[in-house]
């Protein structure tokens, strides 16, 4: 079902307030338990032997020395693990992912791929044993760039899929008549764009612990965004019923989308534990989070658009090629979402899009905040600036003229209900006095003539669910306890976003109890209702609505119970701040505890309700206004100030929403200026798989961010109109920086990251 009723207007008591998050005390005191903190009696440590070759057939693998090494309890290779072709991502049967992986194969497809696993009594021994495993490879020709992989006769990385190293058949979207559109155009812009390989670099490295009990049941702790999906795929691959797999995840140190794959080490950990009959822990090193984690798909974009002299966009022709790395993971989903996103943002009736996703012998790219859209909107938004320049228009005016509006068909294929981009842009223009900014001096400091200042705008829109790629379902169970407190059971993971706090706020608001009286139980697949996972900016929108629905039901039951005790009809009662009172006679009241509790001859009430919600999707919007300072002598770009204006519908927890926006901006600054996971194009070896040479901006690099959140376009599908916010900020910041750099120094960049070397080289060429 989809909720399409008007949004209820009410005075909020808890929603919209930055209540104290339920997890902060635990986290700042170090009490919060993460997967890596779990220690079980007799626990072994697992490590993975990784290939130092990018494409090869394993001729032989000799584990005898490793097995004989004191302290080693088990060694697994492709010869003794189940050979089950499985999805890389645990969203089986969705359009998002592809079935191309084995737990271990006799083939290596990227440098760093696991070829064997060891369990030993300590991490050190396991590590040492890895060196004792002797692997003989037959090297195969390798390809490291999608262009090379797509050439006829290129070495094939997989036997499955449509062939030609394609992960899926090309994604094609056609609307209107592109050729007719170009024929009407007064001018045409054409350009190629490219994006690097930024890595999510979550704080908590991937980690899991597997423990089998005497009934052959697997208990599996893992840092995942998708615990039920992990349960499902583990059960499928290991041949177990769901009752025999229990997945646990409490706190997480981030995921940013990448922790929604089911990783090779997770299967291996479960198998090592099974083999040894002892609990096994596997924890990535930081190096492994790069080589065996998931990064954003590098992308090449060709974009051609036709414009009228009044700024009207009449045709858009776009081709995108995403580099999947050695496995499909989320390549299909990313390609579909990233490609179809280009139907929108700036209105155009005649659109022809083609998205491809290609295997290469490089580490796997997967789901990551911005999911294919970062790449496509970077190109769209920069070319929009170029069009403005060609027209002699202020880019703000051109963007305002063309941004998506009410009734336009969204990338998902349905008309947008709440549309807020126009108002975000206009609001930013007004508060910054954009027109006067455009006219200011670019080198205002005569003592530092080498510093040039510029401002740029980046726009974005992003859906608050994975629909239509995945028809989603959100679930919640709400129980009212006999002391009047309330327990919410949810499968939604807490990546660190504050999602559980927002869900508790929604339940407290709807039910009419205090926020402090709602407890949240999460992260145990044996206990909480099924959950699709925390991704696609959807937890508040999807699970929030399910929680609200469950709260609506228990509220009615609580009022029924109170009505019996107060000897009135339930519809004569109201419930607020934990107090049930007769609406017409507020002096007659009882607490929820009194209603719920036992009295003579009446046992305590058992009130439980479920909410299930299956939405389509809403869209959130943002316009980022960014000031950069470019040092024309060293090429360093400093992002000085960002004014992000977001429409996310109803705000549940303002500080948490602001935190999402600031964090996304910081991450996006890194991706645009300094971060790129570099693979050697001769060997496939990782060149900077670690935080010394993968340059994330740190706190000292953070600009002033003046977040503005508008509740301009609430979507009736979310709780009181709430929409997503998780992914939006990282999409808009990139083009805003690239456009600001142009404003500062008059040089256009069509790629990211834009490095100091790029800046100096471009300035030199421009001067010459």
Partner 1 sequence: MRYIRPSSLEDAVGLLANASGKAAILAGGSDLLVRMKGGFIEPDVIIDIKAIDALGRIIENDDGFVIGAAVPCAVLGENTALRNAWPGVVEGARLIGSKQVQGRCTIVGNLCNASPAADSVPALVAAGARALVRGPAGSRTIAVETIPVGPGKTSLAPGEIIEAILLDKRQRHSGDAYQRFTPRTEMDIAVVSAAVNLTLNDQGVVEKARVALGAAAPTVLLVEEAADILVGSRVDDGALERLAEACSAACRPIDDKRGTVEFRKKVAGVLAKRVALTAYQRAGQK
Positions that interact with partner 1 (CB under 8 A): 633-636, 673-674, 678, 687-688, 692-693, 695-698, 700-701, 755-757, 760
CA separation, residue 567 to residues 420, 555, 576, 590 (Å) = 48, 18, 19, 12
Q: Where are the alpha helices (DSSP H) in 574-691?
A: 592-596, 654-673
Strands (E), 104-206: 107-108, 114-120, 134-139, 171-175, 187-195
Q: Kindly state the smallest distance separating residue 760's Cβ from partner 1, in Å.
A: 6
Q: Kindly state the smallest distance separating residue 628's Cβ from partner 1, in Å.
A: 15
Distance CA 366, CA 375 (A): 14
Nearer to partner 1, 28 or 698 (CB): 698
Q: Kindly state the smallest distance separating residue 698's Cβ from partner 1, in Å.
A: 5
Q: Kindly state the smallest distance separating residue 701's Cβ from partner 1, in Å.
A: 5
739 within 8 A of 381, measured Cβ to Cβ = yes
**Residue 610 β-bridge partners:** 477
Nearer to partner 1, 235 or 678 (CB): 678
Nearer to partner 1, 308 or 450 (CB): 450
Nearer to partner 1, 138 or 633 (CB): 633
- 505: Cα within 13 Å, side-chain hemisphere: 26
Kindly report the three-state secondary structure assignment for every residue of 380-423: HHHHHHHHHHHHCCCHHHHHHHHECCCCCECCCCCECCCCCHHH
Q: Kindly state the smallest distance separating residue 723's Cβ from partner 1, in Å.
A: 33
Distance CA 581, CA 589 (A): 4
Nearer to partner 1, 20 or 448 (CB): 448
Nearer to partner 1, 79 or 693 (CB): 693
Nearer to partner 1, 217 or 287 (CB): 287
Q: Kindly state the smallest distance separating residue 636's Cβ from partner 1, in Å.
A: 7
Closest C-alpha to 173, from 366, 389, 356, 343: 343
Q: Kindly state the smallest distance separating residue 622's Cβ from partner 1, in Å.
A: 25
Nearer to partner 1, 270 or 759 (CB): 759
Q: Kindly state the smallest distance separating residue 203's Cβ from partner 1, in Å.
A: 14
Using CA atoms of 530, 535, 537, 542 in order, give the dihedral in degrees to the nearest 10.
-10
Nearer to partner 1, 184 or 285 (CB): 285
Nearer to partner 1, 667 or 755 (CB): 755
What 8-state DSSP symbol labels residue 430? H
What 8-state DSSP symbol labels residue 251? B
Nearer to partner 1, 341 or 744 (CB): 744
Residues 152, 169, 105: CA angle, nearest 5 degrees: 75
Three-state secondary-structure class, residue 342: coil
Q: Kindly state the smallest distance separating residue 737's Cβ from partner 1, in Å.
A: 14
Q: Kindly state the smallest distance separating residue 753's Cβ from partner 1, in Å.
A: 9
Strands (E), 85-140: 86-87, 99-101, 107-108, 114-120, 134-139
Nearer to partner 1, 41 or 692 (CB): 692
Segment holding 688, helix H or strand E: none
437 within 8 A of 430, measured Cβ to Cβ = no
Q: Kindly state the smallest distance separating residue 672's Cβ from partner 1, in Å.
A: 12
Nearer to partner 1, 591 or 632 (CB): 632
170 within 8 A of 354, measured Cβ to Cβ = yes
Q: Kindly state the smallest distance separating residue 598's Cβ from partner 1, in Å.
A: 56
Tokens standing for residue 403: 């941004």
Nearer to partner 1, 437 or 678 (CB): 678
267 within 8 A of 237, measured Cβ to Cβ = yes
Q: Kindly state the smallest distance separating residue 681's Cβ from partner 1, in Å.
A: 13
Distance CA 700, CA 279 (A): 41
What 8-state DSSP symbol labels residue 364? P
110 within 8 A of 265, measured Cβ to Cβ = no
Distance CA 613, CA 532 (A): 12
CB count in 10 Å sphere of residue 8? 9
Distance CA 560, CA 14 (A): 24
What 8-state DSSP symbol labels residue 133? -
Q: Kindly state the smallest distance separating residue 633's Cβ from partner 1, in Å.
A: 4
**Residue 351 β-bridge partners:** 175, 316
Nearer to partner 1, 124 or 134 (CB): 124
Closest C-alpha to 194, from 663, 758, 662, 622: 758
626 within 8 A of 458, measured Cβ to Cβ = yes
Q: Kindly state the smallest distance separating residue 495's Cβ from partner 1, in Å.
A: 24
250 within 8 A of 523, measured Cβ to Cβ = yes
Tokens standing for residue 129: 């044993």
Q: Kindly state the smallest distance separating residue 679's Cβ from partner 1, in Å.
A: 11
Nearer to partner 1, 539 or 755 (CB): 755
CA separation, residue 736 to residues 305, 523, 622 (Å) = 20, 38, 11
Tokens standing for residue 638: 């400093």
CA separation, residue 476 to residues 539, 552, 554, 681 (Å) = 11, 12, 12, 48
Rounded to the nearest 10 degrees, the angle between the axes of helix 395-402 and helix 421-432 is 160
Q: Kindly state the smallest distance separating residue 703's Cβ from partner 1, in Å.
A: 12
Residues 37, 43, 49: CA angle, nearest 5 degrees: 90
Nearer to partner 1, 120 or 623 (CB): 120
Tokens standing for residue 592: 């929820």
Nearer to partner 1, 423 or 760 (CB): 760
Q: Kindly state the smallest distance separating residue 56's Cβ from partner 1, in Å.
A: 24
Sign of CA pseudo-dihedral 753, 361, 296, 464: positive
């Amino acid at each position: 079902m989809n909720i399409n009723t008007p949004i209820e207007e009410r005075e909020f008591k808890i929603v919209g307030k930055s209540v104290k998050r339920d997890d902060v005390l635990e986290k700042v005191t170090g009490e919060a338990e993460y997967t890596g903190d779990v220690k079980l009696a007799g626990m072994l440590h697992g490590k993975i032997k990784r290939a130092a070759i990018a494409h090869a057939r394993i001729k032989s693998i000799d584990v005898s020395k490793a097995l004989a090494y004191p302290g080693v309890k088990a060694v697994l290779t492709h010869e003794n693990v189940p050979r089950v072709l499985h999805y890389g991502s645990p969203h089986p049967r969705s359009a998002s992912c592809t079935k191309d992986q084995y737990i271990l194969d006799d083939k290596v497809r990227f440098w760093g791929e696991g070829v064997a696993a060891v369990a030993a009594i300590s991490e050190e021994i396991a590590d040492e044993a890895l060196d004792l495993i002797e692997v003989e490879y037959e090297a195969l020709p390798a390809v490291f760039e999608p262009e090379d992989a797509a050439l006829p006769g290129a070495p094939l990385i997989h036997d499955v899929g449509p062939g030609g190293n394609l992960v899926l058949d090309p994604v094609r979207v056609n609307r209107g008549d592109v050729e007719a559109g170009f024929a009407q155009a007064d001018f045409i812009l054409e350009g190629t764009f490219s994006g690097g390989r930024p890595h999510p670099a979550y704080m908590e490295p991937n980690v899991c612990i597997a423990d089998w009990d005497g009934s052959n049941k697997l208990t599996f702790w893992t840092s995942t965004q998708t615990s039920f999906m992990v349960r499902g795929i583990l059960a499928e691959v290991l041949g177990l019923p769901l009752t025999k797999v229990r997945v646990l995840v409490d706190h997480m140190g981030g995921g940013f989308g990448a922790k929604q794959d089911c990783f090779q080490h997770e299967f291996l950990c479960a198998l090592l534990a099974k083999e040894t009959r002892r609990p096994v822990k596997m924890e990535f090193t930081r190096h492994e989070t790069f080589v065996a984690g998931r990064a954003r798909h590098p992308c090449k974009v060709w974009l051609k658009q036709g414009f009228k002299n009044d700024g009207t966009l009449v045709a858009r022709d776009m081709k995108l090629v995403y580099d999947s790395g050695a496995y499909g993971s989320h390549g299909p989903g990313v390609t579909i979402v990233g490609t179809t996103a280009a139907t929108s943002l700036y209105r155009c009736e005649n659109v022809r899009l083609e998205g491809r996703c290609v295997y290469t012998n490089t580490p796997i790219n997967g789901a990551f905040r911005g999911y294919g859209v970062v790449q496509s909107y970077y190109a769209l938004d920069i070319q929009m600036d170029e069009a403005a320049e060609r027209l002699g228009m202020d880019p703000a005016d051109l963007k305002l003229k063309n941004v998506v509006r009410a009734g336009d068909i969204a990338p998902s294929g349905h008309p947008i209900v709440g549309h807020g981009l126009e108002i975000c842009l206009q609001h930013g223009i007004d508060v910054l006095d954009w027109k006067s900014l455009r006219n200011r001096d670019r080198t205002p400091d005569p003592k530092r003539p080498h510093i040039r200042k510029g401002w740029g705008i980046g726009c974005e829109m992003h859906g608050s669910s994975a629909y239509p790629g995945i028809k989603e379902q959100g679930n919640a169970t709400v129980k009212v306890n006999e002391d009047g407190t309330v327990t919410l059971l949810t499968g939604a993971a807490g990546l660190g976003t504050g999602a559980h706090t927002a869900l508790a706020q929604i339940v407290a608001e709807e039910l009419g109890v205090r926020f402090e009286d709602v407890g949240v139980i999460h992260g145990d697949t044996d206990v909480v209702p099924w959950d699709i996972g925390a991704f696609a900016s959807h937890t508040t929108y999807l699970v929030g609505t399910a929680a609200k629905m469950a709260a609506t039901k228990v509220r009615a039951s609580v009022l029924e119970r109170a009505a019996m005790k107060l000897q009135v009809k339930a519809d004569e009662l109201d419930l607020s701040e934990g107090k049930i009172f007769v609406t017409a006679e507020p002096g007659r009241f009882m607490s929820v505890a009194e209603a719920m509790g036992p009295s003579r001859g009446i046992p305590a009430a058992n009130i439980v309700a479920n909410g299930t919600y299956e939405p389509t999707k809403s869209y959130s919007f943002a316009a980022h206004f960014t000031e950069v300072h470019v040092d024309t002598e060293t090429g360093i770009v400093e992002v000085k100030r960002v004014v992000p204006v977001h429409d996310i519908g109803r705000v549940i927890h303002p500080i948490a929403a602001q935190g999402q926006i600031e964090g996304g901006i910081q991450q996006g600054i890194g991706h645009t200026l300094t971060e790129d996971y570099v693979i050697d194009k001769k060997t496939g070896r990782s060149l900077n798989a670690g935080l010394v040479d993968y340059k994330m901006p740190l706190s000292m690099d953070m600009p002033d961010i003046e977040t503005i959140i508008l509740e301009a376009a609430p979507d009736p599908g979310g709780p009181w109109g709430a929409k997503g916010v998780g992914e939006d900020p990282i999409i808009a910041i990139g083009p805003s920086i690239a456009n600001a750099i142009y404003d500062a120094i008059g040089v256009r960049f069509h790629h990211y990251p834009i490095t100091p070397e790029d800046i100096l080289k471009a300035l030199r060429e421009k001067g010459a």
